[in-house]
Amino acid sequence: MKTAETSVPVHPLLADRWSPRGFDRAHSLAPDQLAALLEAARWAPSANNSQPWRFLVAQRGAPEFDRLTAALAPGNRAWADAASALLLVAAETVDETGRPRPWALYDTGQAVAHLITQAQADGLATHQMGGFDAAAVRDDFGLAEALSPVVVIAVGRLDGDAALPEPLAARERAPRTRAPLRSLLLTPAQNTELPAA
């Protein structure tokens, strides 16, 4: 557990979620577990209910999994191949009439927030990765021009004893940190009562 040290209590689903690199190679996702993740994303809010998020699901053992793994940055490939599934997340940034969707990336990130919170509720670990070759993925999977690859999510069961190379092993043990709560505010701090964090 790497529970966040929060200034006031927040929901345990949020406080307890973290992004591990140790995944259990023996675990695979049940169809219902996978469906719950996608269903959670599906019900995210979005601008004009445009729902611009798209997912390419690759379960370990499937050829798509190896193709996605090959597109990861080497530092991610070192551990993410033990995940039960890799989900490529793309945003449809242009609608069917060719009009840009200015909120597509925002909406897609919010859908991912839903997905990873559902995963946490279901006892699954997730780790998002921006470190992948988006152009290679676009080519390999023949993604339409309107789709922007955003992130790859590793999903699986945490393995706290997984062997990781340094410096990843040290990062796995390191406490989670965040900027102070007050630093998020654009207004002068004295106008907003906040506990010291």
Q: Can residue 33 be called a binding residue for ligand FMN (CB under 6 A)?
A: no
Q: Residue 102 or 130: which CB sits closer to ligand FMN?
A: 130
- Cα distances from 167 to residues 129, 163, 170, 188, in angstroms, run 17, 12, 5, 38
Burial of 63 (0-12, 13-18, 19+ CB in 10 A): exposed
Question: Which of the ranges 6-14, 61-69, 92-100, 124-132 carries the binding residues for ligand FMN, by CB under 6 A?
Answer: 124-132
Question: Which of the ranges 27-35, 56-64, 90-98, 126-134 carries the binding residues for ligand FMN, by CB under 6 A?
Answer: 126-134
Q: Which amino acid is at 120?
A: Q
Binds ligand FMN by CB under 6 A, chosen from 25, 78, 103, 131: 131
Binds ligand FMN by CB under 6 A, chosen from 51, 69, 76, 84: 76
Q: Which amino acid is at 127?
A: H
Q: Can residue 18 be called a binding residue for ligand FMN (CB under 6 A)?
A: yes
Radius of gyration of the chain (CA): 18
Binds ligand FMN by CB under 6 A, chosen from 106, 128, 141, 197: 128
* Residues with Cβ within 8 Å of residue 142, at least 6 apart in sequence: none
Question: Which of the ranges 27-35, 38-46, 89-97, 127-135 carries the binding residues for ligand FMN, by CB under 6 A?
Answer: 127-135
Q: Residue 96 or 179: which CB sits closer to ligand FMN?
A: 179
